[in-house]
Every structure is written in C-alpha cells, then in structure tokens.
A and B are shown apart, each in its own frame.
Chain A
Amino acid sequence: MNYPIYLDYNATTPCLPEVVEAMLPFFSQHYGNAASKAHPFGWIAEDAVENAREQVAGLIGAKSKEIVFTSGATEAINLAIKGTFAFFKGEKQHYISCQTEHKAVLDTLEAIEKAGAEVTLLPVDEKGCIDLETLKSHIQEHTKMIALMWANNETGVINPIKDIAKIAKENGIIFFTDAVQAAGKIPVDLAGIHLMALSAHKFYGPKGVGALYIRHNHHLPKPLPILEGGGHEKGFRSGTLNVPGIIGMGRAAEIQSKSMLEDAAKLGILRDILENELLGLEGVYLNGSQENRLPHVSNIAFDGVEGEDLLRSINKKIAVSSGSACTSISPKPSHVLAAMGRNNDLGRASIRFSLGKFTTAEDILQSVNHVKTVLERLRK
C-alpha cells in the first residue's frame, strides 16, 4: 500500500535499517534468556544487553548502571512516579507537575492522588510555558517530586530544565523528567535530574522498549519496583528482558548520539519553511512558542474550519495528528492546547506537524500545497 507523507514523528518513528539489522540476530541465532547464567546463549544475550545499556547511557551522558530497561516510556513513567510514591508510603506526600504533561504522567499522578498523594498541576501561559516563581510558590515541606517534561509532545515547547533542576536541588526534591520527545533529538544534560524516562520508538528504535534513568550517588531515594518477580534489572524491573528490543534501542541511541545535531539543523530549516508558509495564510496561528522549542515540531491552529474535517482531509495526503497519538481517539480537544487557553474550536482545529530524519524538502512543499488546498475547500 502507498502511505501518505509522514509528518507524525512525535507519535512514532520508523526503525532505522541499521537498527533492524542489529536486532535480527537476536531474534534468530542469539535467542538466549539474558538471565541464563549457565550457558553461552545467556551470556551472549547479557553481553549484548550490557552493550546496549552503555549506548543508551551514552546518549544522555549517564553511567550504564543508571539505566533500567522497561517495556517503554509509559512503564518507565509509572515506575518513576508510583515507585517513588511507594517509597514514601505512610508519609504525607506532595507532587508538582504541569497541566500540559503527557497523559502517561497525568494519569499516573491521578492514580497516586487517589491513593492519597497531593498533586499540584502548574498552569502554563498562552505559549505553553510554566512560570518558575509559581513552581517555587507551590513547594511545600512534604513535596517529594517535581515531574516536568523536557519538551512537550504536542507543541515541542522546551521547559527550562536547568532552572527547574536548580529549584529541585535547593529544596531537596526529586526531579523527574519525561524526556521522551527530547532524547535522541536534541542534547540532554543530566545535571540536577534524578529520574528520566526514555522511549526507543521516538528516536528510530523499536516499539515496546524504553528506559528509566535512575541517578546514582545522591541522597534522595530511588523508586521501588512496580513489577515484582525474578529481580531483573537489579531488582528495579522484573521480567525476561526484551533482548532484541533492547539491542535496537541501544543501536538507535548510538546512531542518534552522532546524528541528532545534523538532523536537528536540517529539520529546523524544513520546519521553518512549513511553518512560515502556513502562518502566512489568513486565520492561521501558531500554538506554543517559536523560542525554546524542538526543531522538528510545529503545532498550528486553523481558524474557520471544523477540527475533524480538517484532520481527515489533511490525513489523506499527510499523516499528522491533532495532538498526542495516545489520546487521538478521543474527540475532546487537546488538554495541552486547552491549558494554553485555546478555545475549543481552535483547539480542535489544530494540527501537530512533526518532522523526522526521512522528511524531504519535497515532502514539505507538497504538504504546504495540500494544506492550502484543504483550507480553501473547507473554508468555502
């Protein structure tokens, strides 16, 4: 089948051919269980996993022992939040996050809130930015965690991570960041971060594998495991390791450590062309901010059209989404755009364009033309 132009790299990315190549032998000949200690099938799998751990650590500048592999970022996020909540069980607990976080964070926070935690969700301004003074004002004696994402999945807006880390440090609070959209796309610096969630399929690795970075050598507690069993991953995450998936994540991390800057430079130019062309049209607005933003993302609101019609028409030639893929089946407008004060109609008639490695200038020109045609037709 012929697929449309793909501009939904924030939802998922294709596996790089090199990544598939690296995984294949671990499907076929090297099929050992990485926990089998008595024979080479196990040793080969384990060595390969440890190599992948170093590659993933390398991408974010961590030590390999600080990487815990999971079935994906959502599980990593659940581990970070629920695992921390479990550690402090019995104490009064307060968590600070933000209204524009990914559902994986918001839903997990809701779950611990039901179990007795206090949760504060910071508001954002019309550009999607939090206010650091507001953050500070919400910190309490019993605040256990600040959970703020590195970059927003819908708008690409980047949080002031260094400043947040500083505030967390001054107050002795765990800083957890969902870096799913940033890692492998832009350099991330771990200074002041205690926990970080990563997802392989957002940086050209396979689906079904992710990691939680857990900082070592500091006095704040590490999360307790949420999955019990054989005690894999130093007890942080039980369950037979997804060896091929982990190898794929490692290889993708290694490739992206080398090529992300080049990718980002190219994609920034293409994105700007797309964005400027569209913003030049009447009744077309940017969601979010042009500063402090991922170079490959643009979220645009279209006035005078109905959201569902718009998305359906655009999707005929360009694969894009109106927000997070995880919630795209829901008819409600994006909670991110709502938090930024977009009214319902404009919020629903918003499109997230996210570019990636294989996006070409031709793709962008065709996309601009297609969007223009759709707009003209729908506005008639």
Chain B
Amino acid sequence: MRVYLDNAATTAMDDRVIEAMLPYMKLHYGNPSSVHSHGRQVRSAIEKARKKVAELLNASPSEIFFTSGGTEADNTAIVCGIATYGIKHAITSPIEHHAVLHTLEECAKKGSVKLSLLDVNTKGEVDLGQLEELLQANPNSLVSLMHANNEIGNINDLMAIGELTRSYGAFFHSDTVQTIGHYVHDLKTLPLDSLVAGGHKFHGPKGSGFLYVKKDRKIHPFIYGGAQERNMRGGTENVIGIVGVAKALEIAYEDMNGHRTHVEALKKRFMGLLKENIPGVEFNGLSADLGKSLYTLLNVSLPPSEENRGMLLFNLDLNGISASGGSACSSGATVGSHVLRALGHDPERESVRFSFSRFNTNEEIDYTVEKLRELYGVSV
C-alpha cells in the first residue's frame, strides 16, 4: 500500500484539470499576445480563466495576475508593495513560509525596510496587541501574515488582522497558499490588499498560481519585459498552467463543503486513533483544534524513541507512507523546521506533518495509524 499524506507539499492533479489543459498543449498553441487567430483563441482562454478566478473569489478580473506560483506571487506583493508605497517598516511572524520570510529578510538586508517579527507562543499564535503596538509606532507598514500555516495548520483571523492593519493604513499581504481552494475567500469583504495562490496545492498544476492585488492598491511589476498581465508581469503566459489553475479552483468551489466534510472526518479519525493507540502523542501548534487549524493537516509530535530518532520519515516511507517533517521547500536542508523551532518544540520528540486531500480514504488513515503503532512498539 502506498499512502500519500503530504498534500500540503503538493496535491495530485484532478483528471478534469488535466483534461482542460490538454487542448492548450496540443491544439491551441498560439502565443496569447499574437493578434492572429492562434493568439486570440488562447488570449480568450486566459481571460476566461481570469474571470472565473475573480468570480469565485468575489474579486474583479483586473485584480487577478497570473504568476509562476505562490513564491513569485509572494515576492511580487512584498517587494513591489514596499517599493510602490515607500514603505519603510514591515511586520511578519517567524513562522511564515520562507517565500515570505526570506523575501522580507532580504528587503531588510538591502536596507529597504526595518523588519519586526511578532512573538509567537508555544502554540504558534501571534499577539494582535503586539501587532497594534507596532502599527501605532509605524502606521505605514507592510504586514505579511499567512492565512494558515503550512506546517502546523494554525489559521490566522484575516478579518481581525485586516481591520487592524486597515485602521492604520498599513499594507496587508497574506500568503493564502494553503487555504485557497480549501476555504471560501470573499474579497469584497476581506480587508486585505493582496493574497496569493499556487495551483498545485488544490489539485491544479505546478508552476502556475496567481496574485490578487486590490484595485486601489496597485503595485509596480516584479518581472519586466513585455506588456503581459496588463504590464504587471512580463513573459509569455503559461497558458496550460493558467487554464489548469482556474479549472482546479472551479472544481474546488463546486463542492467545497463536501470535500471539507470528507477531509475533516479523516483528520478527526486520524487524531482519535492516534490518541487511542500511541501513548504520549501530542499535536503541534493548534493543529488538534479543529476550529483554529486547517482541516487538511495534522502535525503530530511523537514521544522520544530510540528506533525512530531521526528515522521516522524513513521508517514511514519503508511502510509505504509519504509524509514530511515540514515544508517541502526546505526539506532538503538539515536545519530542521524553523516553525517548530520558533514554537520551542522539544527536539527529542519526532514531528511529522500529515496532510490530507479529498483523494485520501479511511483505510489509508487506519493503515497509517497501524504502522505508527508498530513503529512505536505498542503491542496490538
């Protein structure tokens, strides 16, 4: 049995998304900037995709910019938000994704902003009081706080953070990579200036995502050359990727509640079985709190064990279970998770991020618990 529980790293594509993309590989291959019919056909597919994405997020098509993925979209919002509005101060948290954290650190290193990191408690929660104090001192700040953490699943209250940042006139960017396609975002009511998506996190293609930038918060382009994306992003459009990302979002919205019910049940089942079967099991961050964490993710902290020390992911893989220690983006590095470190996680314990999708089943959950039980020597 091969069980894929690393859906926060990337998801399997939905067949319907592949179907939607294929004609743009084989038949409609024009360059969307070309004025002839090869080009126009493809241009119209891109604009239809943009309209679809905008409609689903209750935004305007002119606020949606297709990018090569979440990382580029985060970089664009942050670097260009800072440059466009002459922002000298940025606020984020130490448990953001590296696409945000490293980008802001780089801005700070180059001297374009002073960077303030919010404190997080052992559950990974930020303190909005501290955010307000920082905003009082630096009203023209860029605030970048993710919607949901990719490692521990903690969900931030975008409404509260947004209203707070807005009352100070700060620029509020949110890395929403883990929630787009899994939660409803209503951009007419959400008080944020920019958010991002990566198609491959919701059964769409890799290499394709988008950036939303609020109409009255226009920013400079990041990648220059060519007038694509209304001068916001030079480069021939990744047509198949754009068609795919819109299709994947459409499918996600078709039955989001159904998917949520299914996936949330898997998470509950997994959590319950772990508590029953593995003495000393704990859950990192807020991931055990269903109301405050992603329903797609559970970060499990297992008690110290000689057999599994540093080998747990390897042992899981030998048993056919694919999971991860944290963000895939840094899983090659040996430095460990910056998120768990910030939470003061006990390094003697092994932590594994299990992340689910609508393609997972109860059997896979049961199988995973059974294998964990074997690995932890709990007698059957």
Chain A residues with CB under 8 Å of chain B are: 1, 3-4, 6, 8, 11-15, 17, 20, 23-24, 27-28, 31-33, 35-42, 70-75, 77-78, 86, 89, 102-108, 110-111, 199, 201, 206-209, 226-232, 238-245, 311, 315, 318-321, 324-330
Q: Is B74 an interface residue (CB 8 A)?
A: yes
Is there contact, CB below 8 Å, between B74 and A229?
yes
B34: chain A residues at CB < 8 Å are 8, 11-12, 319, 321, 325, 328
A229 CB contact (under 8 Å) in B241, B325, B329, B331:
B329
Q: Are B328 and A74 in contact (CB under 8 A)?
A: no
Interface positions of B from 233 to 269, Cβ below 8 Å from A: 234-241
> Judging by beta carbons under 8 Å apart, are B238 and A72 in contact?
yes
B-chain residues with CB within 8 Å of residue A324 when the two chains form the complex? 226
* Known contacts A239-B69, A242-B68, A325-B33; A228 and B332 CB within 8 A of each other: no
Is B75 among interface residues, defined by CB-CB distance under 8 A?
A: yes
Q: Which residues of A contact B13 (CB under 8 A)?
A: 27-28, 31
Q: Is the CB of B35 within 8 A of A330?
A: no
When C-beta atoms are compared, the residue in chain A nearest to B74 turns out to be A229
**B159 in the interface (beta carbon within 8 A):** no
Q: State the CA gap A105–B316 with chains docked (Å).
A: 48
Task: State which residues 1-55 of B face A: CB under 8 Å.
Answer: 4, 6, 9-13, 15, 18, 21-22, 25-26, 29-31, 33-39, 41
- Give the docked Cα–Cα distance between A311 and B333 (Å): 54
Which of B21, B225, B321 is close to A78, meaning CB atoms less than 8 Å apart? B225
In the complex the two chains form, is A11's CB within 8 Å of B31's CB?
yes
Query: Which has the most chain B C-beta neighbours within 10 Å: A11, A209, A240?
Result: A240
Q: Which residues of B163-185 are within 8 A (CB) of A?
A: none
Q: Does B102 contact A228, Cβ atoms closer than 8 Å?
A: yes
B225 near A231: Cβ-Cβ < 8 Å: no
- Bound-state CA distance A106–B234 (Å) is 12
Chain A residues with Cβ under 8 A from B72's Cβ?
Answer: 71, 227, 239
How many angstroms from the CA of A17 to the CA of B240 in the assembled complex? Answer: 15
> Does A41 contact B322, Cβ atoms closer than 8 Å?
yes
Q: Is B114 positioned at the interface, with any CB of A under 8 Å from its CB?
A: no
A28-B12, A242-B206, A318-B36 are known contacts; what are 5 more A-B pairs with Cβ within 8 Å? A11-B39, A72-B238, A78-B223, A240-B70, A321-B35
* A39-B322, A229-B97, A330-B227 known; A209-B207 Cβ under 8 A: yes
* Complex contacts, B330 vs chain A, CB 8 Å: 35, 230-231
Given contacts A38-B314, A239-B72, contact A71 B26 (CB under 8 A): no
> Which of A8, A201, A229, A311 is most buried by chain B, counting CB atoms within 10 A of its CB?
A229
9 contacts between A and B (CB under 8 A): A8-B31, A32-B9, A70-B68, A107-B225, A228-B99, A230-B330, A325-B33, A328-B34, A330-B227
Instruction: List, in ascending order, chain B residues with CB within 8 A of A73's CB.
Output: 235-236
Interface flags for B319-349 (1: CB within 8 Å of A; 0: not) read 0011111011111110000000000000000
- A207 contact from B105, B110, B234, B237, Cβ within 8 A: B237
Interface positions, chain B 119-161, Cβ under 8 Å from A, are none
Tell yes or no: B374 within 8 A of A by CB: no
Contact yes or no, A238 B226, CB < 8 A: no
Question: Interface readout for B216-235 with A: 1 if CB under 8 Å, 0 if not?
Answer: 00000001111110000011
Are the CB atoms of A72 and B333 closer together than 8 Å?
no
Residue on B nearest A82 in the bound complex, by CB = B224
Q: B284 on the interface (CB 8 Å rule)? A: no
Shortest distance from the beta carbon of B46 to any chain A beta carbon, whole Å? 11
Shortest CB–CB separation between residue A343 and chain B, in angstroms? 22
Q: Mark B197-228, 1 if CB is under 8 A from A, else 0.
A: 01010000111100000000000000111111
Chain A residues in 8 Å Cβ range of B75: 226-229, 238
- Does the CB pair B9–A15 fall under 8 Å? no
B12 touches A230 (CB 8 A): no
A199 contacts which chain B residues (CB < 8 A)?
Answer: 236
- Provide the residues of chain A in CB contact with B97, threshold 8 Å: 229-230
